[in-house]
Structure 1
Amino acid sequence: MVKTVIFDMDGVIVDTEPVHRYAYHTHFAELGIDVSEHVYNSFTGHSTKNTYERIKEIYGVEGEVQSLVLRKRALFNESFDTKPDLELIDGVRDLIEGLHAKGVELVVGSSASKSTIDRVFTRFGLYPFFTHIVSGEELPKSKPDPAIFLKAASLAKYNAKEECIVIEDSTNGIKAANAAGIRVIGYKSANSKQQDYTGANYIVHDFRDIDADYILAL
């Protein structure tokens, strides 16, 4: 029986991808590099730090990784704070509230920075529903490394892996859950691009089609 649900954030709770895209590509232009769509999509599920480590490897960009991260983060924050149409993914608030009402523990395991998670959780009033938040910036390796989900599971009150389930929208996230030995629901939305869901135990296309009882029955 599922007792703990570990949510990814970007693309699962809120669609911040357009804001990230703006921030990254604005910064890429500043750096004078042309990052193809294929390469950009390969970064899905990676932390910003690991993304810029790869950018430096691929394009020979100069500068410290931390400085690059801070510039991208500044661009993201400016856009996030001024974007009026940023909303939660359809159906996810009802799912979160329904799971919480049923006594299911909710944890976030996201590659996003702590400051980005805080912006989302503060803007949408999500803190009361989650017991723990694990940010990828706290860990040396990003998804598909399992560290983020292993840590999230270890913090959970019910930390037996068979009592946890992950909700993810990216190939790297699904691989990370697989490597951690935790079942995973693949959220395959209309916005999913170049993502492989074959490693997911279950696939959901719309959160409005499921509820807390669906997850509890898995």
Structure 2
Amino acid sequence: MVKTVIFDMDGVIVDTEPVHKYAYYKHFSELGIDVSEEMYASFTGNSTRNVFQKLKESFTLQHDVEELILRKRFLFNDAFDTKEDLELIDGVRKLIVDLHGNGMQLILASSASKGTIEKVFNRFELHPYFTHTVSGEDFPQSKPHPAIFLHAASLSVAPIEHCIVIEDSTNGIKASKAAGIFCLAYNSINSKLQDLSEADHEIAHFDAINYQIISQIKQR
């Protein structure tokens, strides 16, 4: 029986992807580099640090990675603070409240920075529902490496076999499976360039699941 649900954040709880994309591409323009849609899609689930490490190698950038990170975060924060139509993913608050109300432990494991996580959790008042928030900036390797999910599972009130992950990206699903955790894929409009085939189950809307359904999921 599932005791802990580990949520990804971007694309699963809140759709900050358009804000991230705006910030990244504004930064790419400043740097004078041409990043294709395919290359950008391959970064999904990666921390900002790992994205710029890859870009530094691909485009032989002379900038320091930390400098690049700070500039992108400035552009993101500026856009985030002025974007009034930023909302939670449809149906996810109802699911979070339902799971929490029935005693399910909720943990966040996101590649986003601690600052971004705090901005989202404060804006939408999510802290009361989650026992822990885990940021990808604390790990040297991003998803698809399983480190972030293994750490999140170590914070669970139950053994890892009683945890599940909710993800929406190829890298996130690979990380979940590499950690040996059941993965439920959320197939959204933003997942069209993502391969969800390795997930154990797939949904197109959060209304398709609730506490009763999730609690009975069994690890394969």
TM-score calculated relative to the size of structure 2: 0.97
* Runs of 4+ residues deviating >3 angstroms: none
Amino acid at match of 2:196: Y
CA contact (8 A) 2:154 2:160 kept: no
Q: Which residue of 2 aligns with 1:114?
A: 114
| Equivalent residues in 2 for 1:156-195, closer than 5 Å | 156-158=156-158, 160-195=159-194
More off after superposition, 194-203 vs 78-87: 194-203
Deviation track 1:162-192 (CA, whole Å, cap 9, x = no partner) reads 1000000000000000000000001111221
Q: Which residue of 2 aligns with 1:8?
A: 8
Amino acid at match of 1:213: Q
Amino acid at match of 2:68: L
Deviation track 1:14-66 (CA, whole Å, cap 9, x = no partner) reads 00000000000000000000101010110000000000000001111111111
SS in 1 for 2:214: helix
Q: Which residue of 2 aligns with 1:64?
A: 64
Q: Which residue of 2 aligns with 1:124?
A: 124
Q: Which residue of 2 aligns with 1:207?
A: 206
Q: 1:214: Cα distance to partner?
A: 1.4
SS in 2 for 1:185: strand
CA contact (8 A) 2:187 2:203 kept: yes
Distance in 1 (alpha carbons) for counterparts of 2:156 and 2:67:
33
| Structure 1 residue ranges without an equivalent (≥5) | none
Distance in 2 (alpha carbons) for counterparts of 1:49 and 1:195:
21
SS in 2 for 1:191: helix
Q: Which residue of 2 aligns with 1:74?
A: 74
Distance in 1 (alpha carbons) for counterparts of 2:83 and 2:196:
30
Aligned length: 217
Distance in 2 (alpha carbons) for counterparts of 1:217 and 1:175:
23
Distance in 2 (alpha carbons) for counterparts of 1:47 and 1:55:
12
Amino acid at match of 1:192: S
Distance in 2 (alpha carbons) for counterparts of 1:84 and 1:46:
26
TM-score calculated relative to the size of structure 1: 0.98
- Residue 137 in 1 paired to residue 143 in 2? no
Distance in 1 (alpha carbons) for counterparts of 2:52 and 2:32:
14
Distance in 1 (alpha carbons) for counterparts of 2:62 and 2:207:
45
SS in 2 for 1:148: helix
Distance in 2 (alpha carbons) for counterparts of 1:190 and 1:209:
16
Alpha-carbon RMSD across the aligned residues, in angstroms, is 0.7
